[in-house]
Structure 1
Amino acid sequence: MTQSVDHVALLPAYLAAGTAVLVLLTDLIVARRAAVLVVAAVGALATAAGAVIVGLGDDRATFCVPGACSFVANDRSALVAALFAVLTLGVLGFSAATRDVPPGEYAFLLACSMTGGVALGSAGDLITLIVALETLTLPLYVLVGLRRRTVESAEGAVTFFVVSVVATAVTLLGAALLYAVSGRVHLSLLAAGLPDLPLTGAAVVLVLAGLAFKVAAVPFHAWAPAAYDGAPVPVAAYLSTASKLGGVIAILYAVVDGLRPALDLAGPALAVLAVLTMTVGNLVALRQTRMVRLLAWSSVAQAGYILAPLGAFMLSRGRTDEALSTAVSATIAYTVFYVLMELAAFGAVAALRPGADGGLIADYRGAARRHPWVGAALVLALVGLAGLPPGLAGLFAKVVIVRSLLDGGAGWLAVVVAINAVIGLAYYIRVAAVLYAAPAQAPRVRVPWVVATALGVVTLAAVVAGFAPQVVLDLS
């Protein structure tokens, strides 16, 4: 059987991979930091534009067998690819003042990771999904360890690598068992039905456990604080957003789309993961004294909110297509909000401490008085993550999550989300208070204009997301 390849459907992946190659050539021929970063930024913009043009037209697919395709370009894949490109662009902007990492390798690894994220959004089978997810993750091992001559960087990279390898092995074992019981790997074919066997349940649990690592869900979260704190701050920004976005997309595609016949098995597990993740993340964040570790534990808690609508849908008895659409819309909307707010928070940290690690929370005392605009951006990101006005995106996201839980009949889970949101206020407001406290005697830091511009763009995007929620819901 001959098989044609639709190169138009593959265009976003071509652009992302081409960006990685161009970055290496630019570093080899020109060997100037600014040129390398500009080429990477232009490539990220081209990738986002290509994904939107291809995905928002008629649905396209390639590498197909009867009834299913391995690579699908549609509106959802366009949203995912554009998000990964925006993340890459923002991190490149925040990296302008980071001088302790080699620019060629740094931008190349970011572009390779972006390629994995673009392919992940179009994955139509388990093999493509897992390979794309690993292409997204593998460069992050090196990026975490790029901060030269620091024990924390090496420790974070090794921790991330070891735990990730185990999680990948678990995911592959689950996928292999699914193929053993069904003889299928395409998600649409798996959704048509799975045999009612004990091995099926084991396969679903293994796949879910492996993917939960990517979103740093409890108890698969131990790598996150060490990896975030050991990495350069711009890399921590990308790690906290790209890895979580990739994990959420993988769970949506694999568990919700492909394994719907086995939801009775996955439902309780995902609901328990959501409750444990948001509770543990918030409680441990209360004890943190380092800024990046606080943001790391905050991101763990946010993963619990992201998983809650899916857990509620899987626990419900009336699993209609409308209920699934509501749960998926709430998950994607909250993920988009989280990515923008988290990127803004890390961007502000990178701007306030250019070229350094995140430092102690006490080091930021009075920072908002010395740098009003950057401090205001950090406070806006924090109150947005807390779900308070004027962070309208955060308020909208929390409301969408709670509404989806109530509509799904999971009132108890909505109560857990509300309680955890109140707990989260304690550490978000504490950091905001430190930023506006009477400043300690500290040298004035000059914020690089590129970092400030990138932070402004990300913050503006986060604010716009609060005013235009329907766009996110329509695309999902």
Structure 2
Amino acid sequence: MIQQIDYFVIAPPLALALAAGLVLLLDAFLPSGPRIRTALGLVTIGGVLVALGFIVAQATRAGAGVRAGGGGQGGGSMATFCVPDALAPAAAGRGSAGGSASVPALCSFVADRFTLVFAGLVLVAALVVVLMSMTELAAGGIPPGEWYFLLLCTITGAVTLPASRDLIMLVVALELVSLPVFALTALKRYDGRASEAAVKLFVVSVVSTAVMLFGVSLLYGIGGTVYLSRLAEVFSGAVPAPGVVGTGGQGAGALGAGAVTSSAAGMVTAQGMTSPTAGVITVGVVLVLAGFAFKIAAVPFHSWAPDVYQGAPVPVAALLSVISKAAGFAGLILLLVTALSGRAATWTPIVAIIAALTMTVGNLLALRQRSAVRLLAWSSVAQSGYVLAPLAVAHHATERMSPAGPTSASGPAATISPGGTTLTGVPGGEALLSGAVGASLTYLIVYAAMNLGAFAVVMLVSRAAARNELGDYRGLAYRSPVAGLALGFSLICLAGLPPGLAGLFAKVVVFRELVNGGAGWLAVIMAVNTVLGLYYYVSWTAQIFTPAPGVAVAPQLTAAPRPSASKLTSSELTPASELLPASGVSSAPGPGSAPHLSLGHAFPAAWVAVGLAVAVAVVFSIAPQVAMDLALLSPFS
């Protein structure tokens, strides 16, 4: 009756947590200095790489089906923190943690294909963010130990969240992603905009968490269990609701594993629930959706994003736009298509409307922006709409799939299917493998590479141009060809134009899923918004390749530390031409001309970040099936 722990399954978040502790210890006992800052950054990168190595090892073992808890038809899943058989009659006869040939039905941590893809995405993005952080911290003014510790805590939560299979772990992991970001934003001391951004982010996150917890409490009160697989059975009508008075299921407790009867008012039936219970469930679903909409900056819960992105250090903005957003989508997908699959009629119209509003508002307001970071913030809001859209037809995708097996009132059996865990008898378990979720995941993977490439170049430019407006990028391709080409390619990918075909293929995947799912009106709105997005992406790209007025040769100088943007005066601004060696020609700033940006070799870590993000985007543009294979969508798989 002792719960067993499989440390191999939890190795990725465990490695990140140990790395965070090591960083904190090193920072406490070693003298501060540039070498220590670099060393702490390298330790952080090492922790991320170790976690990524464990993810690859888990994927290899699960695919081969050679580890206990994985096997089957070419794919496998591993689980831990499972309910012992003696305490969960519903799981009896179907194995236990760490020593079975199948995944137990009631487990808190599951490493399946869905988990591994999301964790891999987070860790690769984390490498880019850490490299950007090394450049951000090089100027001093930000304590490196606290920075890397908080960053690793956020990454730990983001890796844990897609593996969470109960409500408690889901909420804890989501907060582990969110809470350190407040401090990361405010670590830029004596910067008024950073402090304001941190307060806004804190207030918004606290409100969203409270709203989501209220919704979660309602779902738990009706379902009588915290496990997502068991909630799916309850809300789909496979078993009566243990949390409803009179169903005889009060003894099921949090495990949802007791025997229940089916002769009471207000219980779950195969056709649905009676009106009072259905109303409570609807409120719970709406509140959970609203809470996650805050986390992913979806309309109408998006207003915090532009101010926070602009006030936070650029690496934190990149983290919010990719890692935090990916974690939010992972939790949302798990709740909607697993726990709440039986209530799809309630949440699919809401998701469709939110997706349409998000992509439209994001693109329209991006048209008016002159600040590079604010434009990327509104672009990120619009991209959230594209990722959300396929989830509006997730229930159609599930219906198109063959049934996983018969429903058992005694509880779900666990079987293994290629690419992930399918819980036989649990509606929604197979939906993690559906085309709709795959379309969202494909777009999220491609978007991460494109967006990180853009943010990395924007951070380099921000070292020279304190205001970091679009006009500062005029002629960038002539003054720093590598930076100009990298940013231009990332923007073209986001627009979905050749040669950046990665964005085009990602949009086609989403568009196809919407049409096949019967949401033609949403596909039309997406097409219109894609055209709207072309304007500001192409306009910014045109600035990059437009020569700046006044051409002269500028000397090569090393970049000096940049003071806080809020304290800069016109006399303190370092001319951009002093920060980067020209590749042949260089323009001297003149009246009305853009500052001359020299990005040179002063920021090697940032250049590695640019190269990594753009290289992935190039791979996705040349071979889009790579991204689709990861999301189980490729017709060539």
1:309 to 360, 383, 390: 390
Q: So what's the TM-score if we normalise by structure 2?
A: 0.72
How many residue pairs end up in the alignment? 475
- Whether 1:236 aligns to 2:345 is no
Matches within 5 A, 1:72-221: 72-98=110-136, 99=139, 100-194=141-235, 195=268, 196=273, 197-221=278-302
8 Å Cα contact 2:480-2:597 kept in structure 1: no
Structure 2 residue identity aligned to 1:68 = L
1:47 to 48, 51, 56: 51
**Following the alignment from structure 2 to structure 1, what is the Cα–Cα distance between the partners of residues 280 and 326?**
29
Deviation for aligned residue 1:183: 0.1
Deviation for aligned residue 1:189: 0.9
**Following the alignment from structure 2 to structure 1, what is the Cα–Cα distance between the partners of residues 383 and 393?**
16
Deviates more, 1:276-285 or 1:233-242: 233-242
**Following the alignment from structure 2 to structure 1, what is the Cα–Cα distance between the partners of residues 465 and 452?**
17
**Following the alignment from structure 2 to structure 1, what is the Cα–Cα distance between the partners of residues 169 and 39?**
33
Partner of 1:239: helix, strand, or coil?
helix
Aligned residue in 2 for 1:26: 26
Q: What are the Cα deviations for residues 201-239 of structure 1, in whole angstroms up to 9, with x where unaligned?
A: 111111111111111000010111011000111111111
Deviation for aligned residue 1:419: 0.3
**Following the alignment from structure 1 to structure 2, what is the Cα–Cα distance between the partners of residues 358 and 231?**
13
Q: What are the Cα deviations for residues 403-423 of structure 1, in whole angstroms up to 9, with x where unaligned?
A: 111111111111111000000
Structure 1 residue identity aligned to 2:542 = A
Partner of 2:81: helix, strand, or coil?
strand
Aligned residue in 2 for 1:261: 342
Structure 2 residue identity aligned to 1:469 = P
8 Å Cα contact 1:344-1:455 kept in structure 2: yes
Aligned residue in 1 for 2:327: 246
Deviation for aligned residue 1:358: 6.2
Matches within 5 A, 1:301-380: 301-314=382-395, 316=396, 319-321=399-401, 324=431, 325-354=434-463, 359-380=468-489
Matches within 5 A, 1:435-474: 435-440=544-549, 441=589, 442-447=595-600, 448-474=603-629
8 Å Cα contact 1:49-1:82 kept in structure 2: no
Structure 1 residue identity aligned to 2:112 = N
**Following the alignment from structure 1 to structure 2, what is the Cα–Cα distance between the partners of residues 424 and 472?**
22
Q: What are the Cα deviations for residues 92-149 of structure 1, in whole angstroms up to 9, with x where unaligned?
A: 2112332232211111111000100111121111111111011011111111122221
Q: So what's the TM-score if we normalise by structure 1?
A: 0.96
**Following the alignment from structure 2 to structure 1, what is the Cα–Cα distance between the partners of residues 475 and 621?**
28
Task: Specify whether residues 355 and 155 from structure 1 end up closer, same or farther in structure 2 by C-alpha distance, changes over 3 A only.
Answer: farther
Deviation for aligned residue 1:172: 0.7
Task: Specify whether residues 317 and 27 from structure 1 end up closer, same or farther in structure 2 by C-alpha distance, changes over 3 A only.
Answer: closer
Query: Which stretches of structure 1, 4 residues or longer, exceed 6 Å deviation after superposition?
Result: none
Structure 1 residue identity aligned to 2:498 = P
**Following the alignment from structure 2 to structure 1, what is the Cα–Cα distance between the partners of residues 212 and 547?**
50
Deviation for aligned residue 1:466: 2.9
8 Å Cα contact 1:47-1:82 kept in structure 2: no
Deviates more, 1:282-291 or 1:29-38: 29-38
- Whether 1:434 aligns to 2:472 is no
Partner of 1:72: helix, strand, or coil?
strand
Deviation for aligned residue 1:444: 4.1
8 Å Cα contact 1:167-1:209 kept in structure 2: yes
RMSD over aligned Cα atoms? 1.7
Percent identity for Structure 1 against Structure 2: 45
8 Å Cα contact 2:442-2:628 kept in structure 1: yes
Deviates more, 1:98-107 or 1:3-12: 98-107
**Following the alignment from structure 1 to structure 2, what is the Cα–Cα distance between the partners of residues 355 and 161?**
29
Partner of 2:234: helix, strand, or coil?
coil
**Following the alignment from structure 1 to structure 2, what is the Cα–Cα distance between the partners of residues 422 and 97?**
35
Partner of 2:531: helix, strand, or coil?
helix
**Following the alignment from structure 1 to structure 2, what is the Cα–Cα distance between the partners of residues 444 and 354?**
9
Aligned residue in 1 for 2:583: none
Could you list the runs of 5+ residues in structure 2 that have no partner in the other structure? 63-69, 71-76, 84-90, 92-104, 236-267, 403-429, 550-588, 590-594, 632-637
Deviation for aligned residue 1:193: 2.8
**Following the alignment from structure 2 to structure 1, what is the Cα–Cα distance between the partners of residues 548 and 16?**
44
Deviation for aligned residue 1:357: 5.4
Deviation for aligned residue 1:190: 1.2
Structure 2 residue identity aligned to 1:27 = D
2:506 to 378, 397, 409: 397
**Following the alignment from structure 1 to structure 2, what is the Cα–Cα distance between the partners of residues 413 and 291?**
29
Deviation for aligned residue 1:376: 0.8
Aligned residue in 2 for 1:222: 303
**Following the alignment from structure 1 to structure 2, what is the Cα–Cα distance between the partners of residues 430 and 453?**
27
Deviates more, 1:137-146 or 1:353-362: 353-362
**Following the alignment from structure 2 to structure 1, what is the Cα–Cα distance between the partners of residues 79 and 346?**
31
Structure 2 residue identity aligned to 1:432 = T
**Following the alignment from structure 2 to structure 1, what is the Cα–Cα distance between the partners of residues 617 and 225?**
40
Q: What are the Cα deviations for residues 320-369 of structure 1, in whole angstroms up to 9, with x where unaligned?
A: 33795110110000001111111111001112233775621112211221
8 Å Cα contact 2:479-2:597 kept in structure 1: yes
